[in-house]
Structure 1
Amino acid sequence: MITITKASIQSWDRFYRANFINSLSGFKSVCLIGTKSNDGIPNLAIFSNIVHLGADPAMIGFINRPKAAAPDTIRNIEETGVYTMNHIHPGIIEQAHQTSAKYDASVNEFEAVGLDMLWREDCIAPFVKDSHIQYQLSLSEIIPIPSNGTFLVTGYIESVYLEKDDREADGFLPLEKYQSITSLGIDGYYLAERVMRLAYARP
């Protein structure tokens, strides 16, 4: 087994270090987050630091990078309090990845990368039409993380839209049947395969 010290990590080229540390944390959920500015401009961006926060109330969180690096999504959420999350499947990976480019705030990323918007009457933020699993959220909190300038954005799930109903009897949602991808590092995308489900663990 090899040993890599903190000092060694700090000595690496920043891109090498970013790739290594981003991979070290393991496979992550990845979604396209759709928002709209107060000026009416749709925005779409890929995020891979998404986490389940609780089921009652149903809440999801994600990490937003420092505002200087990724200002548009968090600003739109602050302004409107509404956003969507959209699962990515193999057919839209390249377009989804392209949303990580630093487009100007005046650019509609849906149009820039070639993805269609889907609007619903009860939601002011756009969904990704081609996504197999979509859900709408309302802002709960934006929590600063001072140590590195990032933010934990938490939201309540308002509605969920499934392309097909593959829910199992106990509510489990088998994402592999929707071809939802997962990510590793900054630019690696994978299809997941279930190994097993186990009974609730008790002492």
Structure 2
Amino acid sequence: MSQEKQITKQHLGSMESRYRARFINSLTGFKSANLVGTVDQQGNPNLAIVSSVVHIGSNPPLIGFINRPNSVERHTLENILATKSFTLNSIDEDIAALAHQTSARYPKNQSEFQAVGLTPYTDNDFIAPFVLESGLKIALTLKEHHIIKANDTELIIGEVEQVRVPSDAIQPDGYLDVESMDLVTISGLDSYHVTQRLYRLDYAKPDKALEPLSVSGEKTEWKVNQSTMD
């Protein structure tokens, strides 16, 4: 590893804006890659890639994401606030480039689905469109909307209404094996990655040695050098 470099708040403030954006966006490492599907009140679909999706809670099941400041037209945000509905759709290797293209600023009357070549899918139970090509599809209704005063970004929190996922990806203990679906992650603003699982680990307790688990949640033997856990 090369020599450590210290970058201060003053250094950050003096950086060219796009350079700073790329640098700061890379600091948090790998992030999940998702497509947000929405529809306006006239039924026009919209699709946008996000890398800020976070787990909020399991009971009730809540998922959130950060929307950029509403200083210009934000079709995704406008649609969610109007219809109270949106979907989150996974991105795999086959559609990563198409998903990235949805970040382009298309006019409101232009469907990103059509523009990039992805397929909107709806059913009678939910108004917002899914991405047919996605392996993991989640339908959510808007529960909370918060403006973050520090930078005017907006936190959208949705409650999970339904999940569509390959049945063989769901393990006996409830673990969802997302790696089996070839999902990609994002680092920074534009770098896409595939993953490789190291191991699953048993529930950690102060007086109990860590034990590895199989993908299905069963106790198994260590297959890595345990010195990495020291």
Given the two structures, how large is their TM-score scaled by the length of structure 1? Answer: 0.97
Shifted more, 2-11 versus 56-65: the winner is 2-11
**Which residue of the partner structure matches residue 62 of structure 2?**
59
Shift of residue 164, structure 1, vs aligned partner: 3.9
SS of the equivalent of 2:103 reads coil
**One-letter code of the match for 2:133?**
D
Paired with 2:73 and 2:30, the residues of 1 have a C-alpha distance of 22
2:98 to 92, 95, 98: 95
Root-mean-square deviation (Å): 1.0
Percent identity between matched residues is 44
Paired with 2:192 and 2:70, the residues of 1 have a C-alpha distance of 25
Higher RCO by CA contacts (8 Å cutoff, separation 6 or greater): 1
**Which residue of the partner structure matches residue 157 of structure 1?**
160
**Which residue of the partner structure matches residue 110 of structure 1?**
113
**Which residue of the partner structure matches residue 177 of structure 1?**
180
SS of the equivalent of 2:168 reads coil
**One-letter code of the match for 2:130?**
F
Paired with 1:134 and 1:127, the residues of 2 have a C-alpha distance of 6
Name structure 2 gaps, 5 residues minimum.
207-230
Is 1:12 the equivalent of 2:20?
no
**Which residue of the partner structure matches residue 189 of structure 1?**
192
Is 1:84 the equivalent of 2:87?
yes
Shift of residue 163, structure 1, vs aligned partner: 3.1
CA displacement 1:19-59 (0-9 Å, x = unmatched): 11100111111100000001211000001000000110001
Contact 1:62 1:154 (C-alpha < 8 Å) held by counterparts: yes
Shift of residue 70, structure 1, vs aligned partner: 5.5
SS of the equivalent of 1:157 reads strand
Name structure 1 gaps, 5 residues minimum.
none
**Which residue of the partner structure matches residue 216 of structure 2?**
none
Count of residue pairs the alignment pairs up: 203
Whose Rg is larger?
A: 2
Q: Which 4+ runs in 1 deviate beyond 2 A?
A: none
Paired with 1:97 and 1:138, the residues of 2 have a C-alpha distance of 25
2:51 to 45, 48, 51: 48
CA displacement 1:63-90 (0-9 Å, x = unmatched): 0001124511111011111111100001
Paired with 1:35 and 1:163, the residues of 2 have a C-alpha distance of 23
Is 1:167 the equivalent of 2:170?
yes
Paired with 1:81 and 1:138, the residues of 2 have a C-alpha distance of 5
Is 1:199 the equivalent of 2:202?
yes
SS of the equivalent of 1:152 reads strand
SS of the equivalent of 1:75 reads helix
Paired with 1:63 and 1:148, the residues of 2 have a C-alpha distance of 11
Contact 1:64 1:70 (C-alpha < 8 Å) held by counterparts: no
**Which residue of the partner structure matches residue 142 of structure 2?**
139
Paired with 2:73 and 2:34, the residues of 1 have a C-alpha distance of 16
Paired with 1:120 and 1:40, the residues of 2 have a C-alpha distance of 13
**Which residue of the partner structure matches residue 74 of structure 1?**
77
User: Taking structure 1 as reference, are residues 54 and 70 closer, same or farther at Cα in structure 2, changes over 3 Å only?
Assistant: farther
**One-letter code of the match for 2:185?**
T
